Amino acid sequence: MPPEQSQDPVVTPEQLCIGLFVHLDLPWFSHPFSFNSFKIRSADQLKTLRELGVTRFRYDPDRSDVQPRGTAPAAIAVAQPPAHVEEDPATCQALAAKRERIARLAQRKRQVIEVEKAFVKAAGVMRNINKNLFARPKECLDEVDELVNQMVVAFLDQPEAALHVMGEHAAGEEAYFHGLNVSILSMMLAKDLGFSRSQSQLLGVGALLHDVGLADIPERVARARHELTTPERNLRELHCDYGVRLGKQLGLSEPVLRIIAQHHELADGSGYPRRLKGDQIDPLARLVALVNYYDNLCNPGDLAKALTPHEALSLMFAQRRSKFDGQALQVMIRSLGVYPPGSVVRLSNDALALVASVNPVKPLRPWVTVFDPNVPRDEAIMLDLEQEPDINIAKALRPIHLPPDVYEYLSPRKRVTYYFDADSRQGRNP
């Protein structure tokens, strides 16, 4: 127990009441609640707490809405260990459900590890493509087709394929994150917009290769970490035309070439290089342009200007809606959820958490990784908010505003990177 807990006042079970913020000095797996610390919000919670066999509960006066019932006792160092009592059948049932959930969470964590392995493999494929595309074009384009086909199968044949935000240990391939992000998110939208398998395959290839023209732009401009001058910006904008030229040399199909040519065109005519508007832009290119814009807001060259996923979607919808295909933007917001993977959030019980993956069925109820200083970081609690009806996301936070210990624990990525889980249903109740 951390030293500061020694001064927490304690109450007896009889003094508990709704509105009191309590701490349970029990292992997380030995009680039915989602957290060891929480505000009592219902008579059912009150009843369960009194049936745990705990003789003293620590509470936090500053986070409580009320005073304990009766006269609060003097503070003592540690709450007494639970006495052995006959457990109520309802409590036993709740504990059994909790243990089932723990097993499900363990399965989920194993699943996430496999997803991250798949991401590292995909990033390796992208590295090979970038390195050898012009030296061994046929081999590399076959790899592109195979990688995209895996995504087509996942998103079209597995309707609950979920998006995850990658952990820090999946880093090391940053140059290839953007192409993967744009391709993965575009494929997700293609599924929800009812694209055919052949359209989705073309979309995926075009999204992976949309920036191929940057190969002919000097690195200091193509991957600039600074504010571009007007001449540098004009040079960089040529990558769309350069990409079409290179794509023709590689033998890419016309639909893929249109994606490369138009992935910076915007529906209101403010894009480049041709200032196309609305239906003048190819439907597949409109989708890639939307996702490309979003990912560039989250992952700009100058990371100091990076928006959180929540901020990026909010900005695009509230202030820049006219720039995008309206239906595709609505589908992206619905599919990513109001709080996309990678968002740092405050929950309705005041806990801090990182949105770990999207819930494709209920986007407002994602999986989150919870900050709890009493739980080791590598054993961090993951909550499926679909299974937590009493807990909601209250608001999104900027990572920069987190206390250092919380930032270290949750490790929000500087660059937000996504991958998909084709077997997400295994982590859910049937």
Q: Which residues contact 210 (CB under 8 A, 6 or more apart)?
A: 179, 182, 243, 259, 260, 263, 288, 292
The pLDDT of residue 91 is 60
Query: Which of the residue ranges 112-116, 259-263, 279-283, 387-391 would you say has the lowest mean pLDDT?
Result: 112-116
How far is it, in rounded angstroms, from Cα 243 to Cα 232?
17
Q: What is the mean pLDDT of residues 119-127?
A: 82
Q: Indicate the SS3 state at residue 383.
A: strand
Q: What percent of the chain has pLDDT over 70?
A: 85
Q: Indicate the SS3 state at residue 346.
A: strand
Under the banding of pLDDT at 50, 70 and 90, the label for residue 183 is: very high
Q: What is the pLDDT of residues 16-58, one digit of tens each?
A: 999 999 988 887 767 888 788 888 988 888 988 998 888 999 9
Q: Is the pLDDT of residue 83 over 50?
A: no
Q: Which of 206, 208, 209, 396 is nearest to 312 (CA)?
A: 396
Instruction: Give me the phi and psi of 25, to 5 degrees please.
Output: -90, 60
Within 13 Å and on the Cβ side, how many CA atoms surround 345?
29
The pLDDT of residue 254 is 97
Query: Is omega for the bond preceding 273 within 30 degrees of 0, making it cis?
Result: yes
Q: What is the CA radius of gyration of the chain?
A: 25
Q: Which of 135, 5, 119, 2 is nearest to 58 (CA)?
A: 5
* Positions of E strands within 103-235: 162-165
Give me the residue label for tokens 């304690």: 10
Q: Is the pLDDT of residue 389 over 90?
A: no
Q: Is the pLDDT of residue 244 over 90?
A: yes
Best mean pLDDT range from 285-294, 304-313, 415-424: 285-294
How far is it, in rounded angstroms, from Cα 121 to Cα 200?
21
Q: Is the pLDDT of residue 75 over 90?
A: no
The DSSP output letter for 59 is: E
The pLDDT of residue 85 is 43
Q: Give pTM, 2 decimals.
A: 0.76
Q: What is the mean pLDDT of residues 337-361?
A: 86
Q: Which residues of 229-242 are buried (b: 16+ CB within 10 A; e: fewer)?
A: eeebeeebbbbbbb
Under the banding of pLDDT at 50, 70 and 90, the label for residue 208 is: very high
Instruction: Give me the phi and psi of 171, to 5 degrees please.
Output: -80, -175
More confident position, 121 or 384? 384
The pLDDT of residue 94 is 62
Q: Report CA-CA distances (Å) from 131 to 96, 99, 215, 291.
A: 53, 48, 10, 24
Full set of structural domains in the chain with CATH = 3-74+81-87 (no CATH), 96-427 (1.10.3210.10)
Q: Is the pLDDT of residue 429 over 60?
A: no
Within 13 Å and on the Cβ side, how many CA atoms surround 147?
30
Q: Which of 143, 180, 148 is nearest to 164 (CA)?
A: 180
Q: Indicate the SS3 state at residue 420.
A: strand
Within 13 Å and on the Cβ side, how many CA atoms surround 118?
21
Give me the residue label for tokens 């769309």: 240
Q: Is the pLDDT of residue 73 over 90?
A: no
Q: What is the pLDDT of residues 127-170, one digit of tens each?
A: 888 888 889 999 999 999 998 988 888 777 766 677 887 765 44
Q: What is the mean pLDDT of residues 312-329?
A: 95
Q: Is the pLDDT of residue 269 over 90?
A: yes
Instruction: Give me the phi and psi of 129, to 5 degrees please.
Output: -65, -50
The pLDDT of residue 202 is 96
How far is it, in rounded angstroms, from Cα 125 to Cα 130?
9
Q: Is the pLDDT of residue 87 over 60?
A: no
The pLDDT of residue 263 is 98
**Kind of pairing between the strands at 367-370 and 57-59:** unpaired
Q: Which of 34, 30, 58, 66 is nearest to 392 (CA)?
A: 34
Please state whether 109 falls in left (phi above 0), alpha (psi between -120 and 50) or beta: alpha
Q: Which of 79, 86, 68 is nearest to 26 (CA)?
A: 79
Best mean pLDDT range from 95-99, 272-276, 340-344: 272-276
